[in-house]
Structures are given as structure tokens and as C-alpha cells.
Structure 1
């Protein structure tokens, strides 16, 4: 549900969201095993929805679980396990649950499961990636067996959208062991080996209707060439994270490309809580080394949109179009490095294939830095374990952020002082106050003004460089049918399994 639509309903004194049915456009072709290779996995892979943080986690989560809502191709909330959301003030919400839904073990879904699933995000021991959102909950209680009431600490018209993110998928009350999955999703978990593979089998009793695939095997092939060769040889049916340079070869070989234009990005991360990032001139100099036009043309072959070191894309209604574009300027960078006392210094920068094209971006920055009087040394680390061992832990490195449905969500998860993924360790009390004010306001003009200021603040102060918003490129066998681009992310927003089918060979 778009925020503007929600606010319009609020102005009329009430807000209700009704369910929407699932209506596949073609007759199901049932059966077969789809084999899918992503770019990265590790022993930190999880079946706990609260801890999901990677593409392979999201893909598994969407197979085994459902949320109260789900996000459509345009980031609007559609009803899922919830049948309706009702509120008059965007602060107190009543959620009516869908009847006839069962977990994979046969137990019916009840309000107790929803209350348990939402409350556990507040437990520090769980380590939820959505805790920063759950902290908005003042009270969560069951209303009988088929309804839940959520009281927020402050108004938030985005609640149906927030509850559609992967971490808020619903588990059975009392679940503490995630060696397997017991959800309400379209597939049952028949095998899960973290860092190795998972196997999902069709849930014949899925409440939304029949699923077409018989099975889905999901694993990782970190090496890009090996991943592409596996597709070409027929060993896999769908692969993620395709190098734009290889698209022509794949198309000529008869393998379609799924081009998803998104607000996701690969970002330069400079930790502000340690040297050399604790010097603002060093940070400004590094941002001036981002040659966005060359990156778009040479690295991404045009499959990207120029960004401006803040995370709101031009397609977003809150995009600050008047924010001056930061230019590629090695001489300006030299000026800042001189002020920082860094001319001639050697600075390591960590790159990895799993942070999409960070290795190629690093090479361009290394060349520009040499002209600016700084020696950047690239340290390439393996994809396996990068997110656990290197991301947000090294002084200078890279991240890779998937699309988020609202400005509030991206700012809350990545830039607020309590953000679980505050990549550069940036803290600004005014930013935090304004973010809360925008979240609770029903004044659209005020909200737009606040989000504009937040973009300026991130651009000027955070230790993040965002050069481009990226298209996600996936490649697949012609046998795979039903794939379509969704702005929510690659592989149909990591929700491909319940929508696709295999043609007979």
C-alpha cells in the first residue's frame, strides 16, 4: 500500500486493507526440480526469518514462510496471512488473520503464533535484523484466536509495508530450533545444510493455491565463471548476479536474461569510528574518486542509474532532485587528502565478488587515487564469509544493499544511530529525531521536506559513497517459465519459487 494512499484513507477517518487473491496468468505445469545457484552462501545461512540478511536466506524464507503481508512488484502491501488491517490513527492496528492456514506440521495458524513471532524481535538474544522496527511496538496482544492488536509508540502508516519485509515472516509459537523450517509457505523443507544447499518440496496444502514446481534445490556457486558454465551445461536452471559483460554471450546461446531495475546499490563504506575515516577530509576525498559515468558505462554496461551518495532513488516520490550531484574530481580529492595529511599514504581497501562489482569499482578508484596522491591497495577476500568477517568490520570496504520498499525503512535499517546495519558507524541525533517525526506525520508536505533534509545529511556526513543504483541481472534456462522483473529485487524479489514452472524438455 502506497503511503499516500494510506494517508488519504486516514484523512477519511479510517484505514482498511482487504485481501487480494492469487491468480496465475497461465495454467500450472506441475512437477520437476528447479536447480538454482546464487553468488554466495556461508555457514551463517539461516532458516530463522528474523536473522535473514542475504539473497539466499531471503529465497529460502519465501519458500518456507509467509508474512502477514507481502510486497508486490511496486512495494505495495498485499494481504498474506492477514486478511485485513484496520486503524483510525495509524497507531493502534487490528489485524484479522486468514482462516484455514496451517503450518507444515498440520497445526493451524493462530493469533498466538503471530504474537510470538513479532515479540521475539525485541529479545536481544534472538539477534533480529528487524529489531529496529520492532522497537516501535508498544504492545502486541491476541484478540481471541484470529486477530491481533498492535499498539505503536508513535503513528506509522507504513506498518503494513514494514510487516511485509522478510524478517517478519511468521513461525509457530515456541519455535527455538531452526535446523529445519516449519512455516506456512508454498514449500516444505526436506534438507538444509548451511553453506551447502537446501531442498524444498511442494506443499500440497498451501493455502494460496497449487504450487507448480515439484522441488527447488538452492545452493551457491561463488565463482562467476563456474556459475555461468553450470547454466550453459544444463547443470542448473537459474543463476543470480550476472556480469553485464556476459549478457550478450548468454543471449546468443539462447539463455534469457531477467533485467530488474532496482534501488539497490553497491556502496563504498568508510568507517567513521576509526582511522583514516575519522578524518572528514579523507572521507570527502574518497567520495570524489567515484567516477560514476565510467562505472555505469564500463562496468555495468548501462545497466545502472547514476546515484548521489544517498540511498533514495530517482523513482522514489521523496527523491531530493535538488541535491547537487557530487562530481568525480581527483584534484578535489587531492585537496582533501592534503588537508587530512594523507598524501602519499597507503590505504587498504577490501573488495569481494559478493559485493557486486566492488572489485572493478576498486580498480577504477585505485587509478583515480594515484592521480590524487593516495595509494589505494586492493585486498580481495573470498565471497564465503565476507558478510560475517569483513562487511562493516574493515576501515574501508564495500557493501551491497538490496532494494527497500520505503524511505523510512532504508534510513531506519542503514542510517539511524540504532540501525542494525549502520555501515559507516555514522550517528546524528537530529537525523534520528527527524526520522521519527516523518514516520508519524500525516502531513505529506512536511514528510517530503524531512526526507529531503535526511538525504542531504547522508550525502554530506555519512561515510557512505553510493555511485549507482543497479539493475539486477539473472540468467535462466529457456525451460524456466513465469519469471518476471520485480523492483523488490532479483529473482522476482527472491520469491521466484512459488511463481515459476519448468517446461518439459
Structure 2
């Protein structure tokens, strides 16, 4: 028995604690530990230790206030349409998913009690009992069927329509059982269901302004682009529910103003602060930094279907004139990993480490710019503080280009309206992509020919067919090989320049406890409000 728990670590303890917070039953917790090689008697000991740790630390009460960095008048409470971090934070407070990812990146159950399949094509979802919506209605399979089918309806405009299209049928077997049939096998389905867009909403909902879900908070106020206020849900299905009595979330786009709001005591958390603000926070007693490196990145997008991106040599020139090391060191103060122009970060087991980043090479860049016939032309580049560090990145690229006679006209536009007016639309512009749990999700959202967020309008039939092939493979080695090839294709053929994978840094008061890293992004994968507490 002793040998079976020697590999159990403090992070494993934290995983158990997180599962308890998520509402896992004792049987589910013991099953999880047994799967990790822990004997039943030792599992009971670990469970007791985790329960004691949780019981000793969280405190109830208080009014949580937090500020994000980006918002818009297009902010929404419809999970299917969510696109900004502020949308994700609100959705995590109001709704639940069938599954979720813990801090170790492992799939755990939330509204689902079980998600099972014998062939990765037909899946059975067994729902938890005793879950109610904010208006008192009980959760049933009809709600799950409705929620999933919404993503297939073009009129809804779901951000994950391309991913959801693999679902060919969703039906209720009985009030607590749902059967999901896919067009082709996909072993990632339980992970896909953990995405923020796949929150479960009430059957028949057309008006999302009330935010009626099963989540830890009820909506009190929602002013798009301004603020959101939530009150603790007293009937939450998870034991104990949220620790705080209320939660207020809004955006302060200016980094200095966001940090000053934290230091003055107006908020408990300032999300995604810039590296230059870190020293200020660290120099002040009573404040700490929460760092997460999970695949977030800001990219420079060149549309391949518009001038000048329709010239392959212009795109190549831009990749060689991007000084990745300088961006890492100067812009992000080392809080980033140099990237290789594709979205699968080193945090993923599928990351292709053999694919080396393009070297900074002004001579090669000049050669390609001359070949494209653009050297000396004024080329507009749209940037904004709406995308993390995009203004600073644009400046570095602009300066490097100027030294070889390339005139990049950097145009800084306001945060408000950037995502609806410029992102995906301007010939050359910046984007900011939050972490996603699988290569399939990243590729389906961003690089498939029909991807809803195809930032450079990259289209390849070969890439599309490889995406489908890898999705259904149970052979992990083969799957990793295909994903590695696809990363090479993106780096060489797409018009997206991903210079670094950014470490997200949230600044918090020491009074805020319980914040943990999560592979779905900063602010505990945007779900922090349910789990943190205020140690007044």
C-alpha cells in the first residue's frame, strides 16, 4: 500500500480539494484517487486531509469586486455568443457546464454525473439529480438537448458552431439521460464540453438578459460594457455554494488605472496586468501576483485574401522581421515563452517542440518584401490595447521594419469596438486568443477552412482532412504525429504570427484567498468568483 501513494503530491491534494469545491461526491473522489493508484485506505486519509484543509480555510461573506481588461457594448450573457474574458467570467458565475477542467487539465464532472462512450462516437451523459435553475425549475435532459442544439442553429450565431457541427444528434433518453451522437469518433468530447460556450441554459430560452442558469450566482445587474452585479445563489447544488455574498465585475481597460484601483482598495483583483505594472504591485505590502502560463497569446494577423497578405512573400517577410526574443524580454519582461507561429503551447502534450521559431533576420525579410514589391509602400497595421501588449508588439515590429526601408503605418484604435470593428476584418491586425484545452478545438476555431475565427483566412483541404482524421484516433502516438504536422503547416502557410505564449498575471489583494491556476486561462479559468473567499 505504501508504494501506491509515494507519487501522490501536494498538487494532487489540491486537485482533490478543487473537486470537493466543484461538488464531487465521496464516491467520485475515491474513484478518482483509485485511478491515480491510491489504495482505498490511503484515499480515505487523503480525502479527510483535503476536507479538513477546506473546512479550515474558506470564510463566508463579503462583497467581491474584480476588474477585467476588456469589455464592449456587445457584451453578452448568452454563452454561445461569448467572445471576451468578461463574457466568460459572467457565464462562469451564472451557468454550469456538463464537465470542467481542473488545475491539472483533467476532465471532471459538473452537471454531468457521468459522460461515457464505448466507441467515442455515441456518448451517454447521465445528469446529476437535485440541480435547479435560479427560477426554481429542475434541470432535465431537455435543457441539455436545447443547449447543445443551439450551437447547430445558424440563426443563433454560436462561436463554437464549427466545433458543434460534429454532433449529428442529441436526444433525451429519459429526464436525466442524454445521448449524443457524433458524425465521427472524437475522444475529446468530454473536454470539449468543458469549454465556456457549452454552458447549459434553460430549455426554450430566447431572452438571455436575465442570466437564468444553475450557477453559484444570480444576476442582479447587467449593463453591457459597464458592469455586472451578482448575488450568491442560496439554492446552489454544490455543498456550501459560493463563499462570497455578492460579486461585482467590470472592466478597466487602462492597465495603470486597473492596478491603482487594486492598490487603493477599490477592487480585490486586477486581471491580466502588464509586466511594467508588476514591480509596482510587488513593492506594495498586502498584494500578490497570480501567474498562469497556459497558452494565451497575442498574434499579428495578416489576411491572405486581402492586399498585401495575398502576396506570400509579404507574409514571409513579416515573419522574419518579427523579433520574438525582443518581444519576450522587452515587452513581457520575460513572462512569456518564445512561440513558433502556431497555437498549441508547450503546456500541451501535443506541442511540436521540433518546430523552431522563425529567426529574426532583417536581410531575409528585406529579400521577401522586395520580391513581393511592397518595400517602401505604406502598409497599415491596426493595433489596440484591447489585445494584450499588441501596441508594444506593433511598435517593435514597426521599428525593425523601418531599418530595412519597410514602412509599417501602425494605427492605434480605441479598445471599445475593436473586436467587432477590426478583429477578423482589417487586412493586418492583432488578435488575442485565450487558452483552449485541445489542439482540435484550437484548429477548429482558428484554422479550419470554415473556422468562425479564421484570423488570416487560411484554407487548406489537406489541413481539414487531417483535422478530421486526428479527431477520431485512439492511437495517441499517431494523433500526436498528425497534430505535429498540422502545427508545421500553420507556421509555414497561415498568415498568423504568434511570437510568444504569454504568462497571464492577475494582481490580487492578500485578503483574497483560494485563487488557483487553471489551463483555461487566468482568473482561475474565469471561474474564480465561485471558489475564492475574502479573509477580512
Note the aligned Cα RMSD (angstroms).
1.4
**Residues 136-157 of structure 1, C-alpha deviation per residue, up to 9 Å, x if partnerless?**
0111100110100011100001
| 2:162 corresponds to 1:132 | yes
2:433 equivalent to 1:401: yes
Would you say the 8 A contact 1:73–1:487 is kept in 2?
yes
Number of aligned residue pairs: give it.
Answer: 488
* 1:482-493 correspondence to structure 2 within 5 Å: 482-493=514-525
Q: Which residue of 1 aligns with 2:138?
A: 108
Deviation of the 1:325 alpha carbon: 2.8
Number of the residue aligned with 1:253: 284
Deviations 1:3-22 (A, max 9, x none): xxxxxxxxxxxxxx995599
In 2, the alpha carbon distance for the partners of 1:279 and 1:112 equals 50
Contact 2:513-2:535 at 8 Å conserved across structures = yes
Q: What is aligned with 2:259?
A: 228
Q: 2:60 aligns with which of 5, 30, 41?
A: 30
Q: Does 2:377 align with 1:345? A: yes
Separation (CA, whole Å) in 2 of partners of 1:62 and 1:380: 32
The TM-score, its normalising length taken from structure 1, stands at 0.95
Match of 1:213 in 2: 244
Q: 2:6 maps to what in 1? A: none
Answering whether residue 438 of structure 2 is matched by residue 379 of structure 1, we say no
1:5 — aligned with what? none
CA shift at 1:385, angstroms?
Answer: 1.3
Equivalent position SS for 1:126: coil
Q: 1:194: Cα distance to partner? A: 0.6
Structure 1 unaligned residues grouped into runs of 5+: 1-16
Q: Which residue, out of 171, 174, 177, partners 1:144?
A: 174
Provide the residue aligned with 1:155 in structure 2: 185
- Counting only pairs closer than 5 Å after superposition, residues 12-31 of structure 1 correspond to structure 2 as 19-20=28-29, 25=54, 26-31=56-61
Q: 1:204 deviation in Å?
A: 1.2
The residue aligned with 1:4 is none
Provide the residue aligned with 1:6 in structure 2.
Answer: none
Following superposition, the deviation at residue 318 of structure 1 comes to 1.6
Partner of 2:11: none
The answer for the alignment partner of 1:311 in structure 2 is 343
Deviation, structure 1 residue 433: 0.3
CA distance in structure 1 between the aligned counterparts of 2:441 and 2:89, rounded to whole angstroms: 20
Q: Does 1:301 align with 2:333?
A: yes
- Distance, in Å, in 2 between the alignment partners of 1:246 and 1:397 is 25
1:75-474 alignment runs, 5 A limit? 75-210=105-240, 211-254=242-285, 255-474=287-506
2:79 to 25, 32, 49: 49
C-alpha distance in 2 between matches for 1:262 and 1:232: 26
Q: 1:372, CA displacement in angstroms?
A: 2.4
Partner SS for 1:305: strand
Distance in 2, Cα, partners of 1:198 & 1:149 = 35
What is the CA deviation profile of residues 212-242 of structure 1, one whole-angstrom value per residue up to 9, with x for unaligned ones? 0110101111111211111111111111121
5+ residue gaps, structure 2, are: 1-24, 31-49
State the SS of the aligned residue for 2:88: helix
Once residues 40 and 464 of structure 1 are traced to their aligned partners in structure 2, the CA distance between those partners, rounded to angstroms, is: 22
Contact 1:19 1:80 in 2 (8 A): no
Per-residue deviation, residues 318-344 of structure 1 (Å, max 9, x unmatched): 222222331011111100000000111
Q: Secondary structure at the match of 2:231?
A: strand
- 2-side partners of 1:435 and 1:246: how far apart? 40
Q: Mean Cα displacement is larger for which, 322-331 or 359-368?
A: 322-331
Q: 2: distance between equivalents of 1:449 and 1:483? A: 36
Looking at structure 2, the residues matched to 396 and 475 of structure 1 have their Cα atoms a distance apart, in angstroms, of 32
What does the per-residue CA deviation read over 1:123-175, in whole Å, with 9 as the maximum and x for residues that have no partner?
Answer: 11101011111100111100110100011100001000001101110001000
**Partner Cα distance (1:159, 1:439) in 2:** 10
Contact kept, 8 Å, 2:303 with 2:427, in 1: the verdict is yes
Q: Hey, what's the Cα distance between the residues in 2 that align with 1:409 and 1:269?
A: 19
SS at match of 2:151: helix
Local SS of the residue matching 2:382 = strand
Offset at residue 448 of structure 1 (A):
1.5
Q: Which moved more, 1:148-157 or 1:203-212?
A: 203-212
The answer to whether the Cα contact below 8 Å between 1:274 and 1:395 also exists between their aligned partners in 2 is: yes
Match of 1:7 in 2: none
Match of 2:3 in 1: none
